[in-house]
Amino acid sequence: MLVMNAVEVRYLDVILVLRGVSLEVPPGEIVALLGANGAGKSTALKAISGLLETEEGKVTDGSIYFNDTRIDRMSPEDIVRLGIVQVIEGRRVIEHLTTEQNLRGGAYLRHGDVKRELDMVYSYFPRLKELRHATAGYLSGGEQQMLVMGRAMIAHPKLMLLDEPSMGLAPLLTKEIFDMIQRFNSEEKTAMLIVEQNARAALSVAEHGYVIENGRVVLDAPAAKLTDNPDVKEFYLGVGTRGEKKSYREVKHYRRRKRWLA
């Protein structure tokens, strides 16, 4: 359904951030995109949603297809109309509007009464219903995360791009959010591409995962395989770490060297 082909992205025409990323999201599937800070995960999502345009970024090579439509030259407004919605990282609620007004904003492209859509979101997040007249800027972090996700869900997208939904949330809330992601995916058949630092949470719901580093895909495997991969274990799942974070590439060198020495 979504296919990225050797995509290269530059900001301001010079800062090369993605160096030929290829990935695929099949219909109805959840795909995880993992990687350290600054690897280019958010950039990859913005390349898909077209929001690069708002940050002076451009796809300078390769292509992105959604079904049979080439979308890497399209404006974000038109890409949304194809059914791709990005939840930008950092819980960007419209602070001065109420919860419900924020949700109505998510339904901006739907015609007619959105009452049923609102109820759909409230069925996933009953907390939002209680808070529907509250000013969004004063919600807690977890509630704001629910709100931005609800704002995307209300549009019934075919593909949802989630950027770090668990950032800064307590483990219990993270679990709640990921349970909801799974439920929405199985009930609505919405495909999802989830960017996460919390690899464990993301891999627990994803069918497939990619690891990117320095703008390149360095690993690409079914989620179960990734979970078992020793390097992923060490660097993204926090199993057997020596407390210090190194890049996947460095590990490889380190291992190789160790083997030579042995």
Partner 1 sequence: MDQFLQFLVNGIMIGGIYGLVALGLVLVYKSSRVLNLAHGSFLMILAWLCWSFAEQLGLPIWLSILLVLVISVLAGLGVERFMLRPLIGQPILAVIIATLALGYLLEGVAIMAWGADTKGLPEFIPREAIWLGPVSIAQHYLWAFGIAILLFVLLYLFFRYTKMGLGMQIVSEDQQVARSLGIRVKNILAQSWAFALVIAAISGILYASLNSVNNGNALIGLTKALPVMLLGGLESLYGALVGGIIVGVFEIVVGGYMDPWVGGGFSNVAPLFLMLVILLIRPYGIFGWQRIERI
Ligand X SMILES: Nc1ncnc2c1ncn2[C@@H]1O[C@H](COP(=O)(O)OP(=O)(O)O)[C@@H](O)[C@H]1O
**Would strands 15-25 and 2-11 be described as parallel, antiparallel, or unpaired?**
antiparallel
Q: How far is the CB of 139 from partner 1 (least distance, A)?
A: 9
Q: How many residues bind ligand X (CB under 6 A)?
A: 13
* Separation of alpha carbons 232 and 199, rounded Å: 9
Q: How far is the CB of 236 from partner 1 (least distance, A)?
A: 27
Does residue number 105 form part of the binding site for partner 1 (CB under 8 A)? yes
DSSP state, residue 39: S
* Separation of alpha carbons 154 and 58, rounded Å: 29
Does residue number 149 form part of the binding site for ligand X (CB under 6 A)? no
Does residue number 109 form part of the binding site for partner 1 (CB under 8 A)? yes
Is residue 107 within 8 A of residue 154, CB to CB? The reply is yes
Residue 254 binds which of partner 1, ligand X, Mg ion, none (CB < 5-8 A, kind-dependent): none
Which pair of tokens denotes residue 160?
A: 């949802």
Residue 198 binds which of ligand X, Mg ion, partner 1, none (CB < 5-8 A, kind-dependent): none
Nearest Cα to Cα of residue 145 among 190, 92, 97: 92
User: Whose CB is nearest to Mg ion?
Assistant: 42
* Separation of alpha carbons 87 and 167, rounded Å: 13
Binding-site member from 42, 49, 198, 229 for partner 1 (CB under 8 A): 49
Q: What is the CA radius of gyration of the chain?
A: 19
Q: How far is the CB of 152 from partner 1 (least distance, A)?
A: 9
Q: How far is the CB of 195 from ligand X (least distance, A)?
A: 7
Q: How far is the CB of 41 from Mg ion (least distance, A)?
A: 5
Residue 11 binds which of Mg ion, partner 1, ligand X, none (CB < 5-8 A, kind-dependent): ligand X
Question: Among residue numbers 21 through 50, which ones bind ligand X (CB under 6 A)?
Answer: 35, 37-43
Which pair of tokens denotes residue 8?
A: 């290269």
Which pair of tokens denotes residue 145?
A: 């995360």
Does residue number 85 form part of the binding site for partner 1 (CB under 8 A)? yes
Does residue number 51 form part of the binding site for partner 1 (CB under 8 A)? yes
Residues 6 or more apart whose CB falls under 8 angstroms from that of 138 comprise: none
Is residue 29 within 8 A of residue 207, CB to CB? The reply is yes
Binding-site member from 6, 15, 170, 224 for ligand X (CB under 6 A): 15
* Separation of alpha carbons 239 and 199, rounded Å: 12
Does residue number 43 form part of the binding site for partner 1 (CB under 8 A)? no
Any idea which residue has 């859509």 for tokens? 117
Does residue number 145 form part of the binding site for partner 1 (CB under 8 A)? no
The footprint of ligand X (CB under 6 A) covers 11, 15, 17, 35, 37-43, 55, 57
